[in-house]
Amino acid sequence: MHLIIVAFVVGLIFSLGLGWSGMTDPKRVLGFLDVAGPWDPSLMFVMASAIPVYMIVWHFVRRRHKPLLDEKLHVPTRRDIDKKLLIGSAIFGVGWGVAGICPGPGIAALGSLSLGAMVFVSTYFVGAKLEGFFNAN
């Protein structure tokens, strides 16, 4: 139960940060990706502030013998680049460039009750189900 509460609080903080920074607005993201038009550097500033915070927290997390709410730290061990990774990255990148939104900000944007956010999150879950179906076979 503690893990669910912590996950909810962390997700809430992340969502509030995305909303406060304007990253739930697809126009902001598309403005960053459009380097030939009226370029909007705000996404760069959001990333530039998030990366050092992550690095500092990760420095302390990896030194612990075990996490606070689990028996072991679950860190991916694969380092290879395969066809599935490349295809998935390409699909993500194209979707991000076309829609101007990715899963985190999309879910956070549900708070606005906008039709675009609802359509995005619905299709995101359909895609996740399809991925599970194709990987099961």
Could you give the CA distance from residue 29 to residue 96 in angstroms, rounded to a whole number? 8
Domain boundaries, given as residue ranges, for the chain: 2-136
Find the mean pLDDT for residues 63-91. Answer: 88
Q: Kindly state the tokens that stand for 125.
A: 């879950």
User: Residue 1 above 80 pLDDT?
Assistant: no
- pLDDT at position 19: 85
User: Residue 134 above 80 pLDDT?
Assistant: no
Could you give the CA distance from residue 39 to residue 28 in angstroms, rounded to a whole number? 9
Contacts of 130 (CB under 8 A, 6+ apart): none
The pLDDT confidence band at residue 56, using thresholds 50, 70 and 90, is: very high
Contacts of 84 (CB under 8 A, 6+ apart): none
DSSP state of 110: G
The pLDDT confidence band at residue 9, using thresholds 50, 70 and 90, is: very high
The pLDDT confidence band at residue 55, using thresholds 50, 70 and 90, is: very high
Find the mean pLDDT for residues 100-118. Answer: 86
**Verdict on whether the full-model pTM lies above 0.85:** no
User: Residue 137 above 70 pLDDT?
Assistant: no
